[in-house]
Chain A
């Protein structure tokens, strides 16, 4: 397929605020897919299906993830994000969080592997971060230098997987 660059020629650029600096040395750890699955199995007796393409994952530094989470919360206005049925819902928020983390790593020239930042579908038996119990939801899952965390991308709440009240009903994770 030949890209149609002419169709883009008149388009402007979207400017996003300066992101947290990617420090390659802080993302020094690597987990295999098996290690990732084992980490889920330690936190719950009903570990989710983990979908992935690559067999190794680069762990971002936990501090970077905290900074990134704060940066992501500033994107809502420039990107004009709003909840809109299937068009933009919880899985879009989660996927968007993962996508921009990937982009920042690419932009920094990070080429050692796939970031261990994915998104997950979860059945909510318990309310968490403003999301009520009784329905399906999507969140972000991040394996960092300090272990596995769950992030609610719509408000930035971040908790260890072991403390996530719906850890037993995570259905699938996508990296």
Chain B
């Protein structure tokens, strides 16, 4: 019996000895959780509706809207999809909130971004991807999200942004209130027709 005792003791100790292993696993899980990417749930696109169907705009009409807004010259517009939804012009504030919350979740200070390296195309793409993913939860919309990139020369001052001749990029939305230009770090938004650098647009792509 006494000869068996050490074996029994080892047997009893085994679970206790495996505990640090379990702790290590938990610790690793914790580390993995820390490394997980957390983003706020993707924002439902604020679609302008025509009865039960979302309002739509063709890429050709979008081009005309841009020209009406003052974008002149050939070859300044690319669209990869044929038809786009239209957003409600008065409901974009939720997209601004989502963008700022997503950046906060990534430890990125969006409102302070103008003091560092900043590329507006990155944030336009992010909004487009986020609303496109959210739109997949809706019934078949079968329309592309109307969020693009507008690149231009900053020839004229626009609110907090100087007219220093540098190249810059903004988010551009097609809405039922017209085409709007949005700068996420400064939260400025303006109708394309009133955008001070509309004569200095380099390219718009959706």
Binding site for B on A (CB under 8 A): 1-5, 7-8, 11-19, 21, 51-55, 79-82, 84-89, 91-92, 95-96, 98-99, 102-104, 106-107, 109, 111-114, 121, 138, 172, 174-175
Contact = CB atoms under 8 A, between A and B. Distances in A.
Given A84-B142, A95-B129, A111-B116, A7 B136 contact: no
Interface string B118-149: 01111001101100110111001111100001
B195 interface: no
Given A2-B187, A14-B39, A107-B108, A99 B96 contact: no
Given A95-B125, A109-B107, A86 B81 contact: yes
- Which 4 A-B pairs give the minimum distances between C-beta atoms? A3-B97, A18-B35, A4-B93, A3-B96
Interface in B52-103: 78, 80-84, 92-94, 96-101, 103
A86 B143 contact: yes
Nearest to A11: B41
Interface of B: 32, 35-43, 78, 80-84, 92-94, 96-101, 103, 105-108, 116-117, 119-122, 125-126, 128-129, 132-133, 135-137, 140-144, 149, 151, 167-169, 182, 187-189, 203, 205
A85 B81 CA distance: 9
Contacts of A2: 93, 96, 187
A4 to B, nearest CB: 4
Contacts of A4: 93-94, 96-97
A52 B32 CA distance: 35
Given A8-B40, A13-B40, A174-B205, A79 B97 contact: no
A15 B117 CA distance: 27
Given A87-B140, A87-B143, A14 B42 contact: yes
B97 A7 contact: yes
Contacts of A113: 117
A4 B205 CA distance: 27
B167 A98 contact: no
Given A2-B96, A53-B149, A84-B140, 16 more contacts: A1-B96, A3-B94, A4-B97, A5-B100, A8-B97, A8-B98, A12-B41, A14-B38, A19-B37, A86-B143, A87-B136, A95-B125, A99-B129, A109-B107, A114-B119, A121-B78
